[in-house]
Amino acid sequence: MPLHPSSPAEGEAPASPPPLNPSRVVILGGGVAGLTAGWRLAATGRFRPVILEREPEPGGLARSLHFKGVSTDLGPHRLHTEIPEIAALVDSIAAPSLYTIRRRSRIYLQGRFLTYPPRLGEVLAHLGPLRCLRFGLSLLGESLRPARGPETYESLMRRAFGPELYAFLLRPYSAKVWKTDPAQIHPDTARVRVSAGSLAKLARRWIGREAESNPTALRQFRYVRGGVETLVRHLREHAEAAGAELQLAEPATALDLEPTPGPAGWRVAAVRSGRTEDHRRQSDAVISTVPLPILLGRLLPPEPGLASAREAAAGLTYLNMIFVCVIVRRKVISGENWLYFPEAEFIFNRAYEAKTFDPAMGPEDRSVLCVELTARPDEGIETEPDAALAAEVIAQLGRTGLFGADEVEEWVVYRLRYGYPLYALDYRERLARVFDGLKRISNLLTAGRQGLFNHNNTDHSMYMGLRAADALAAETPAPAAERWYAEVEAFKHFRIVD
């Protein structure tokens, strides 16, 4: 039955849409957004959603890796949220597994590890007062100059930190992480991901005047014992207990559309899935968390009315992530949660040690350091063989003094597609075209990091799942897609706090 009813006659009150069939709501993707959406829908008592996950285990980007007796998250999934509803949800489903960690991080700069976030005295001693003075004068001079040309990531960062500090530290790190000239990156990247905010904010932190409600970095955070897969397990258990069904190793292969009356144009009539045979599920509504280029380029049919949205989605760039995990014969390697490597001589961006988050993630005599790299699809280090890439990473880590080559016991390389959305200068225009097309499919909502092409953390993805479920379940005359795509701009204001 269509979600979009015919338009009411003039003067007539709009009729509510017919109720959704509880067994015909399909969620594409069993990451935290999909699992949270499934739990929310099932918990209403009105739905029994089916969650289709292409991998043999749920979690999406929130997963843990196990090998040779050690474990590590793919990305350090600390739990911090400024969203009260998500804080309450996490407490309700994972309370026995939660505990608090005091943050310990360092940054490697000019041959030495420094405390991160940086401490004024340590920075002055290492870089010298004259260079630090130049940083300050450079910022002052930049603040007195009028803005030149359209704003970009580079222009915003130069204005926030000054040209000298930007050129010394921030530009090489940004170019390495994003694999793009920072002048070609949208300023939203800085607003969302650069938690330090500006040199002035760092100065306020140094003199103890940082606002508690808007921190530049976390001093402590929560974590789940056993890694992020523990949180995923709790989410899965609660979703299934509420009535959601999770189908693993069951990738969606196509969405069948049918025309509807009214301005929307179409609705999803069925979802096809399966690795070996085409299973067709009739659907009254679909929540998708798959990357937008896959949704529009592979799953949806080539309807002419979606051509502009399809072309726009094809031009969105996601960076791949590569994790090189190195087992070292030591009880502790660094003792730090995070290590940052901003200089261009290192091919990796940061590293983290799983046992500093949870000592049970490794045996007494060994620890694992997981190193994170970003790559454009089919370019650069993405095409380098695993063995050569691991050897290069291990050699570079060794030069920092973290460990000796004879202490390395084993390594593993794990590659992940669609890791980070890359905010090119035209990304907002492309997303607007994508959403203009998708809102024509009255019962299809897209959510999550990949589904909304949005920089966010685990808590943000969970919140997107909740909000998508609420939009679907709301009993109003407006079609779900129309209401949903009017709301998604709010998710662009999520802020990443390191």
**Residue 325 maps to which CATH number?**
3.90.660.20
pLDDT in tens, 33-48: 999 999 999 999 889 9
Residue 170 counted as domain residue: yes
Residue 18 counted as domain residue: no
| Domain shared by 332 and 370, yes or no | yes
CA-CA-CA-CA torsion for 392, 116, 320, 383, nearest 10 degrees? -10
Residue 466 counted as domain residue: yes
pLDDT in tens, 324-364: 999 999 999 999 999 999 999 999 999 999 999 999 999 99
Q: Which of 422, 448, 464 marks a domain boundary?
A: 422
Planar angle of CA 345, 185, 221, nearest 5 degrees: 70
**Residue 400: pLDDT band by 50, 70, 90 thresholds?**
very high
Planar angle of CA 264, 266, 268, nearest 5 degrees: 130
| Domain shared by 142 and 265, yes or no | no
Q: Which two tokens stand for residue 324?
A: 């090189």
Is residue 491 pLDDT above 70, yes or no?
yes
| Domain shared by 414 and 447, yes or no | no
**Residue 183 maps to which CATH number?**
1.10.3110
Cα 402 to Cα 425: distance, rounded to the nearest angstrom = 38
C-alpha closest to that of 300 among 37, 20, 28, 2: 28
What pLDDT is attached to residue 9? Answer: 38
Name the one residue in this structure whose structure tokens are 């509510």.
16
Cα 456 to Cα 491: distance, rounded to the nearest angstrom = 9
Cα 448 to Cα 462: distance, rounded to the nearest angstrom = 8
| Domain shared by 122 and 207, yes or no | yes
| Domain shared by 263 and 348, yes or no | no
| Domain shared by 74 and 203, yes or no | no
Q: Which two tokens stand for residue 222?
A: 């929560």
Cα 350 to Cα 373: distance, rounded to the nearest angstrom = 8
Q: Which of 385, 405, 422 marks a domain boundary?
A: 422
Residue 113 counted as domain residue: no
**Residue 432: pLDDT band by 50, 70, 90 thresholds?**
very high
What is the span of the domain harbouring residue 350?
Answer: 64-78+97-104+317-422
Cα 182 to Cα 112: distance, rounded to the nearest angstrom = 26
**Residue 282 maps to which CATH number?**
3.50.50.60
What CA–CA distances, in Å, run from 415 to 157, 316, 323, 408, 412?
30, 20, 6, 21, 10
HEC profile of 32-100 = HHHHHHHHHHHHCCCCCCEEECCCCCCECCCCEEEECCEEEECCCCCECCCCHHHHHHHHHHHHHHEEE
Q: If you write DSSP's letter for every residue of 340-366 in order, what string do you get? A: E--STTSS--EEEEGGGT-GGGS-TT-
Cis omega (within 30 of 0) on the bond before 117?
A: yes
| Domain shared by 162 and 236, yes or no | no
Cα 157 to Cα 440: distance, rounded to the nearest angstrom = 38
399-417: string of b/e by CB count within 10 Å (b at 16+)?
ebebbeeeebebbbbbebe
Residue 89 counted as domain residue: no
Average pLDDT, stretch 208-214?
A: 50
Number of structural domains (the chain) is: 3
| Domain shared by 147 and 240, yes or no | no
Residue 279 counted as domain residue: yes
Q: Which of 372, 407, 422 marks a domain boundary?
A: 422
Q: What percent of the chain has pLDDT over 90?
A: 68
Question: Among 270-279, 317-326, 385-394, 415-424, where is mean pLDDT lowest?
Answer: 270-279
What pLDDT is attached to residue 391? Answer: 97
Residue 153 counted as domain residue: yes
What pLDDT is attached to residue 20? Answer: 56
Taking only Cα atoms into account, the Rg of the chain, rounded to an integer number of angstroms, comes to 24
| Domain shared by 258 and 175, yes or no | no
What pLDDT is attached to residue 15? Answer: 41
Residue 338 counted as domain residue: yes
pLDDT in tens, 152-210: 999 999 988 889 999 999 999 999 999 999 999 999 998 887 655 556 555 554 445 44
What pLDDT is attached to residue 13? Answer: 38
